[in-house]
Structures are given as C-alpha cells and as structure tokens.
C-alpha cells in the first residue's frame, strides 16, 4: 500500500516528485506524516518542483534532512517574559523606547568615538528599539579592554536589540564597541537564544513580532521567493518587489496574499475579477492597459488552438477584447479593436507578449511594451504618434508595419537587432537613439523624414546608400559607425551636430547643398573622401574634416567660422580650398 | 564589489535590491545625503549578501565618504551609490 506521505506529495506536487522523494528520503518516510509536513511547511504546492530541484538535488536533500532534524528537537514552551529571561542572563532589559529622548538616555554607556548611529536620530521610524544593560555595567570600563572582541565582557555589557518594522521583522543586536569590532550589528549572531534559550520565542510572543529570516535557509531556487509564512513560492513574474505566483498567490514584499480562485484570475500583475467584471493592476490600480479595455460588460474564458487560455472581455461599448495567457499566466496576446489612444507605461513590465492587434490605435504614449522580448513582428496600421522608449528592450522584431507613423520619440526600438528593412513612408521626426543598436538594416525608405535626434541608426553597419530627401537636421552621431555607406542624398540638410558620418570609409564625394551649420568632428576620419561641396556652410565646429587624408577638392565659399584645430593643411591632399563669397581662390588663414 | 539595482522601497525603508537576477531585501539608511530612488545602483562588498554567514545583517547604514579619507577605512566598509545626477562614495557605519 502506498505510503500516505507519498500520496499527499503526489496529489500536491506531482507523481515524479513523489517518486523522487521515495528514492531520496526512505528513512524520513518511516515516520508517518513527517516528510509531507516538512515539504508542505516549506514549499507551496506546485507541479514544477520536481524539475526545479533536479539541478540542485544534493542541496535539496541536505535541506530536507536539516528540517527533519529540527522537527525532531523537542519544543519547550517558554512562559517567562523577555524581561525575566534577560534578568536570568544578568541583564536589565529596559522598556521599549518610544521616543528619541528615551534612546538618547542610553548614549552615555557608549564611548564617544564608538557611538551607535542609532543616536543620530530617526531610528524609531524604521525599527522597534530596546536597550539591555548588564547589571554591573558601570563597573565594566572601556579602558580595561585593550584588545576588543565583539563577544567579550565589555562588548556585550550594553546592547541594543532592534527589530525592523513592517509585516515581517528582522533582528539586529548592536554592540557596545560598535565599529571597533567586526560585524558589531550581529552581536550574539543576531540570535536572542544565544543570550539565553527561549528569548526569541518570548520576544515574539510578548511583543507580537513576525520574525522571518529572509535568507532562503541555504536553499537557492531560481524562480522561487519566500513568503512570510516561511514557504517557497514559485513565481511567474516579479515586478518591483512583488512576486506574482502560481495558484493565485502574491508575495507582496514577502507578505503572502491569496486571491480567491473562484473569483479571481491572476495574469502577471493584473487581477481579473470574474464577479465584478473588472480588470485591475494589483493591488487595486487602473493603468493604461486596464484603461485600454474600457468598461466591461462581461468576462468569459475560452481556449485557443494552442491550448492557451483566452480572457474574452465584452465591453459596454465596442467589440470584444481578447487577452491570451500562457500556462504561467503571462500575457502573450492582446487584441483590442476599439482603443485609439494609449497612455504611458502600457504593459511596460511585460516580457512575453508575442501577438498584438491594435488596428485602430492612433496615439501611443511613453514606455509602450518597454520590457517586451516576445514580439517578432509588429503592425499598427493607423498609429501616427509614438512616445519615448517604444518597445525599446526588444531585440527580435523583424517586420514592422507603421505606414502612418509621423513622429517617433526617443529610444524607438533602440535595442532592435533583427530588422533588415525599414519602411516608414510618413515618418517626419525621429527622436534620440532611433534604432540605435540595429546593425543590419540594409534598406531604409524614409521619404518624409525631416529631423533626427542623436545616434540615428548609430550602430548600423549595413546601409550602402541612403536617400533622405527632406531631412533638414541631424543630431549627434548620425550613422557614425557605418563604414560602407557610399552614397547619401541629403539635399535639404541644413544643420548637423557632432560626429556626422564620422569614420566612413566608403564615400568618395559628398554634396550638401543647403548645409549651413556643422558640429564638431564633422566627417572626421573619412579615409577615401575626395570631394566635398558645402556651398552654404557658414559655421563649423572643432576637428572639422579631421584626418581626411585624401581630399582633393573642398568647396566652402561661405565659411566664416571654424573651430579648433583649424584645417591642418599637412593632413589634407587638396591644393584648392574655396573659402570666400566671391569664390576667389584664397588661402584660409590657419 | 557587487552592483545592486534598487527595484522598490517601502515606507519602512525596506529596499528590494536586484543583483545578477537575484532579489535581496535590506533595510537601508543613508545619513547626511539625499535618499536614493528606485533605479539607482548601490555598490558594496559581496560579503554583505552572504545570508548564510552568522554575521549577516539585514540593516545597513551609510554616510558620504570624502575620497581623501578612503584609505583610512576598511575596504569592506567602502560602498557607492550611482544616481541619475551624481555618484556618491559611501562609508558603511554601524550601530
């Protein structure tokens, strides 16, 4: 007959896990109820536990056997108060400090150069504070201890016992030597039972403390977090200190919150309330994602062809909205035919979304799908304006359909590595770091582009020709790492910032008929550039045409202002430099 | 030195720190300087993260350190804070 412990483990953690436990813990299984108690005390039910502990099987075995030893120790009920126990240990435990004055009253027991930073004030905002003094504290003099050790008679003659405030409390015992000794804030190993057995339990009972060691007890499990009940919970996603776990558990800064399975579905950090027909971001927030869905009339569920759960939201107005979840309740698909405007931070923490349908959205705010890594193609057929950091963590989008896009903010797809063709027929403005990391775009069609920010296509290595017939201004670093661009057509370009086309090794001639102003390092290190025509250039910055070794013709009839160093004639091949408005040949004053 | 990104801060100055995909919880106090914000980076000795050490402490206190005085203190007690506007050299203090 199967052992009851194994039956329990099979039911809550899966058959494979139960079999593994039979193999690993035969002696523990001899004590009925022990193994199931240990596992259920330390691990919230999950069918993934078997796979997750396999890589650390030896640590897991050691951990379980340690827990079995602890279970075997007799528990002594402590009936004495902390004050009584401390008195037995030779201390006077003073009442909890409730005011700054009460804390300061203990300052005199510390040598002036060894004072606790507690005495600087403000500790009561973070901690509950007690002081304890040895009964003979006045006889224990600092000058008699010339070789300080943390646990010696002086170091432990005046201590402060402090617990952090909040849902869980951690302990620190401060030392009378303070920083003079090593680890003074861990006096007695931060274990009250090292002062006198039972003291921890007495403090916890008397003062209502929730002492949890946030150390995972020596067991490190990826994708698990420890709750304030001491259990490991497998989480699907962690966002800003909150772990969203399997089975509708949330660890809110460690505090275990269980959402009623009958009423709620947890989808990443969103809660779907089946009863009230609402979706909100945990704990109770409205954001751009929940707003995009609108007021909901009904919520139902279905399964798609791949076995994924789909949340079907029927809004009060408009067509059905669908949210697809994978088996970890991550949002992997979103279909919303109604929304036209999306505000900032739309699913900005989501990583897994791989399918997006927003056919009518026109305006998108900042940080749209900022963390996303799942999308490989993107089509937003009606979007006109996009804010900053648009899907900027994604590496893999290979196909982009934004036919009406006019304005893109900073960091637009800035980490994209996969796009090879860029076709944005209506784009006029591109912000800083536009497709910065992409190296492989070989074909760019941007016929209406007027203005680009810093680092436009800054890492691109693949463009051999570029036509931007309407571009008027370019920020710093325009295509600065591209070395193979042989032809550029920029007939309307009026101003460029620093490092314009720096390091190019493929252009032999460049005409910028309307350029009036050039920043520093303009065309620096262009190794084969021979012929440059800048008929309207008036002002250029430092290191203009620096290290251009092969120039034979340089046309600057309107140049009046040049930075430093000025053109180094010894580094130029050209004999002729046109510099005056009347186009007479004249040497520049160097 | 380990770099830890501040992911969250609660009202009791309990910080959630992320380092190499692991999450750590510390109570932190910063004296005589502005409070760090979410997104700032803390740097300190990796031994502070050794939760299995008997000397492990969950509450850490820091104050600004004059670079000229850095040689006078234990390397273990030197820390740093990188914010958007400024970098701070810090000294761990105790008590």
pLDDT for position A580: 43
- CA A454 to centroid of chain Cα atoms: 24
Q: How confident is the model at residue A317 (pLDDT cuts 50, 70, 90)?
A: very high
Supply the pLDDT for residue A581: 40
- Chain A environment of B95 (Cβ under 8 Å): 115-119, 160, 174-175, 178-179, 184-185
Q: How confident is the model at residue A167 (pLDDT cuts 50, 70, 90)?
A: low
A366 pLDDT above the threshold of 50: yes
CA angle at residue A250 from A244 to A256, to 5 degrees?
Answer: 145
Distance CA A551, CA A175 (A): 74
Cross-chain residue pair A164–B55, CB shorter than 8 Å: no
**Taking CA atoms, what residue in A is nearest to B50?**
A215
CB contact under 8 A, B8 and A253: yes
What is the distance in angstroms between the Cα of A141 and the nearest Cα belonging to chain B?
20
Is residue A588 scored above 50 in pLDDT? no
Min distance B28 CA to chain A CA atoms (Å) = 9
Q: Residue A185's closest chain B neighbor by CA?
A: B95
Residues of chain A contacting residue B56, judged by C-beta atoms under 8 Å apart: 186, 190, 215
pLDDT digits (tens, 9 = 90+) for A53-109: 998 888 899 889 888 877 776 656 678 999 999 999 999 999 999 999 999 999 999
Which residue of chain A has the CA closest to B57? A186
Contacts of B58 in chain A (CB under 8 A): 164, 170, 172, 214
Residues of A in contact with B91 (CB under 8 A): none
pLDDT at position A360, please?
A: 98
On chain B, the residues whose CB falls within 8 A of the CB of A389 are none
What tokens appear for A481 in the block? 């790492």
Cβ of B38 and A240 within 8 Å?
yes
pLDDT for residue A254 is more than 60: yes
**Given an 8 Å threshold on Cβ–Cβ distance, is B58 in contact with A172?**
yes
CATH number of the domain to which B22 belongs: 2.30.30
Would you call B94 and A216 a contact, using CB atoms and an 8 Å cutoff?
no
Q: CB contact, 8 Å: B94 with chain A?
A: yes
Please enumerate, as own/partner, the contacts of A414-420 that have beta carbons within 8 Å and a separation of 24 or more: A414/A389, A416/A391, A418/A376, A420/A462
Q: Is-contact B45 B56, C-beta < 8 A?
A: no
Chain B residues within an 8 Å CB radius of A116 = 94-95
Q: By the CB < 8 Å criterion, does B7 face chain A?
A: yes
> Where does the pLDDT of residue A551 fall: very low under 50, low under 70, confident under 90, or very high at 90 and above?
confident
pLDDT of residue A252: 83
Between vectors from CA A503 to CA A500 and to CA A504, what angle results, nearest 5°?
85
pLDDT (average), residues A420-425: 94
Q: Looking at residue A393, what is its pLDDT?
A: 94
Nearest CB among B10, B51, B95 relative to A115 is that of: B95
For A549-566, what is the mean pLDDT?
A: 83
Among candidates B16, B52, B77 on the partner chain, residue whose Cβ is nearest the Cβ of A215: B52
- Out of A98-102, A299-303, B15-19, least confident range: B15-19
pLDDT at A590: 34
Q: Does B95 contact A178 at a Cβ distance shorter than 8 Å? A: yes
Model ipTM value: 0.91
User: Looking at residue A22, what is its pLDDT?
Assistant: 94
3-state secondary structure A455-479: CCCCCCCCCCEEECCCCCEECCCCC
Position A36 scores a pLDDT of 95
Say if residue B71 is exposed, middle or buried (CB neighbours under 10 Å; 0-12, 13-18, 19+).
exposed
Nearest Cα to Cα of residue A457 among A504, A495, A492, A520: A504
Q: How many domains does chain B have?
A: 1
What proportions of chain A, in percent to the nearest 5, are helix, strand and coil? 20, 25, 55
- Among B31, B38, B77, the residue with its CB nearest the CB of A117 is B31
Q: How many of the other CB atoms lie within 10 Å of CB of A521? A: 25
Q: What is the mean pLDDT of residues A520-525?
A: 90
Whether the pLDDT of residue A431 is over 60: the answer is yes
User: B27 is in which domain, residue-wise?
Assistant: 2-93
A50 has a pLDDT exceeding 80: yes
Contact B16 A240 (CB under 8 A): yes
Per the CB < 8 Å rule, is B23 touching A241?
Answer: yes
d(CA A126, CA A230): 22
Percent of chain A with pLDDT over 90: 73
Task: Describe the strand order of the beta sheet including A171-174 as a list of residue ranges.
Answer: A91-93, A127-134, A158-164, A171-174
Q: Quick check: A164 and B12 CB within 8 A? A: yes
Q: Summarize pLDDT for A439-498 with one digit per residue, the tens.
A: 989 999 999 999 999 999 988 999 999 999 999 999 999 998 888 999 999 999 999 999
- The distance of A126 to chain B (nearest Cα, Å) reads 5
Instruction: Give the distance, in angstroms, between the CA of residue A86 and the centroid of all CA atoms in the same chain.
Output: 45
Residue A272: beta bridge partners? Answer: A265, A279
| Residue in A186, A220, A241 nearest the CB of B16 | A241
Predicted confidence (pLDDT) per residue in A399-408, tens digit: 999 999 999 9
User: What would the pLDDT profile of A533-546 be if each residue is shown by its tens digit?
Assistant: 999 999 999 988 88
How far apart, in whole angstroms, are the C-alpha atoms of residue A533 and residue A578? 10
Using a CB-CB cut-off of 8 Å, the residues of chain A touching B50 are: none
Q: Which residue has the higher pLDDT, A289 or A237?
A: A289
- Minimal Cβ distance to B94: which of A117, A164, A170: A117
Tell me which chain B residues have a C-beta less than 8 angstroms from the C-beta of A162.
59
Residues of B in contact with A218 (CB under 8 A): 52
Q: Find chain B residues with C-beta within 8 A of A169's C-beta.
A: none
């Amino acid at each position: 007959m199967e052992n009851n412990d194994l039956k329990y483990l099979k039911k809550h953690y899966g058959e494979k896990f139960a079999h593994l436990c039979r193999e690993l813990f035969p002696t523990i299984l001899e004590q009925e109820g022990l193994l199931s108690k240990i596992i259920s005390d330390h691990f919230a039910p999950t069918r993934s536990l078997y796979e997750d502990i396999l890589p650390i099987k030896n640590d897991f075995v050691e951990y379980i056997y340690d827990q079995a030893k602890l279970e075997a120790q007799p528990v002594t009920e402590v009936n004495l108060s902390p004050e009584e126990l401390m008195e037995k240990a030779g201390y006077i435990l003073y009442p909890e400090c409730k005011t700054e004055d009460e804390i300061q009253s203990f300052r005199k027991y510390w040598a002036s150069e060894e004072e606790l930073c507690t005495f600087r004030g403000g500790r009561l905002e973070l901690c509950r504070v007690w002081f304890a003094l040895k009964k003979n504290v006045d006889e224990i003099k600092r000058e008699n201890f010339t070789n300080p050790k943390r646990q010696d008679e002086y170091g432990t003659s005046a201590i402060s016992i402090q617990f952090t405030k909040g849902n869980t409390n951690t302990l620190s015992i401060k030392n009378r030597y303070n920083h003079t000794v090593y680890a003074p804030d861990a006096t007695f190993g931060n274990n009250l039972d090292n002062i006198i057995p039972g003291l921890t339990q007495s403090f916890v009972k008397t003062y209502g403390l929730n002492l949890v060691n946030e150390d995972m007890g020596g067991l490190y499990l990826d994708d698990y977090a420890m709750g304030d009940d001491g259990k490991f919970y497998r989480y699907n996603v962690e966002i800003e200190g909150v772990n969203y776990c399997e089975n509708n558990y949330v660890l809110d800064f460690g505090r275990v919150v269980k959402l009623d399975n009958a009423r709620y579905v947890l989808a990443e950090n969103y809660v779907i309330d089946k009863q009230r027909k609402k979706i909100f971001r945990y704990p109770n927030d409205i954001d751009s994602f929940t707003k995009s869905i609108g007021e909901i009339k009904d919520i139902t569920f279905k399964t798609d062809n791949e076995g994924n759960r789909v949340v079907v939201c029927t809004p009060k107005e408009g067509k059905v909205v669908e949210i697809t979840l994978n088996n970890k309740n991550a949002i992997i698909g979103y279909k919303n035919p109604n929304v036209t405007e999306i505000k900032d931070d739309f699913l900005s923490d989501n990583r897994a979304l791989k399918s997006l349908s927003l056919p009518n959205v026109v305006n998108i705010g900042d940080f749209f799908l900022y963390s996303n890594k799942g999308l490989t193609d993107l089509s937003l057929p009606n979007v006109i304006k996009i804010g900053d950091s648009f899907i900027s963590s994604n590496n893999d989008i290979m196909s982009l359909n934004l036919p009406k896009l006019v304005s893109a903010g900073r960091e637009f797809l800035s980490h994209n590595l996969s796009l090879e063709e860029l076709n944005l027929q209506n784009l006029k403005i591109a912000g800083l770091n536009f497709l910065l990391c992409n190296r492989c775009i070989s074909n760019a069609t941007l016929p209406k582009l007027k203005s680009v920010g810093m680092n436009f296509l800054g890492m691109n290595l693949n463009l051999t020709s570029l036509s931007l017939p309407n571009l008027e201004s370019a920020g710093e670093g325009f295509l600065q790492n591209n070395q193979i661009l042989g032809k550029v057509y920029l007939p309307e370009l009026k101003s460029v910032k620093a490092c314009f086309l720096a390091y190019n090794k493929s252009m032999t001639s460049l005409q910028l008929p309307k350029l009036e102003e050039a920043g520093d390092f303009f065309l620096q290190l262009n190794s084969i550039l021979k012929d440059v025509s800048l008929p309207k250039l008036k002002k250029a910055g430092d290191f203009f045409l620096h290290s251009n070794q092969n120039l034979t013709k340089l046309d600057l009839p309107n140049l009046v202002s040049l930075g430093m160093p000025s053109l180094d004639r010894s580094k130029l091949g050209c004999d002729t430099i046109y510099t005056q408005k009347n186009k007479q040949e004249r040497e520049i004053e160097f | 030195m380990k770099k830890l990104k501040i992911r969250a801060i609660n009202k009791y100055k309990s910080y959630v720190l992320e380092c190499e995909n692991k999450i750590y919880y510390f109570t932190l106090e910063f004296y005589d300087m502005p409070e760090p914000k979410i997104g700032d980076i803390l740097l300190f000795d990796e031994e502070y993260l050794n939760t299995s050490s008997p000397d492990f402490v969950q509450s850490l206190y820091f104050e600004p350190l004059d670079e000229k005085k850095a040689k006078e203190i234990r390397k273990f007690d030197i820390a740093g804070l990188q914010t958007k506007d400024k970098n701070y050299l810090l000294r761990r203090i105790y008590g």
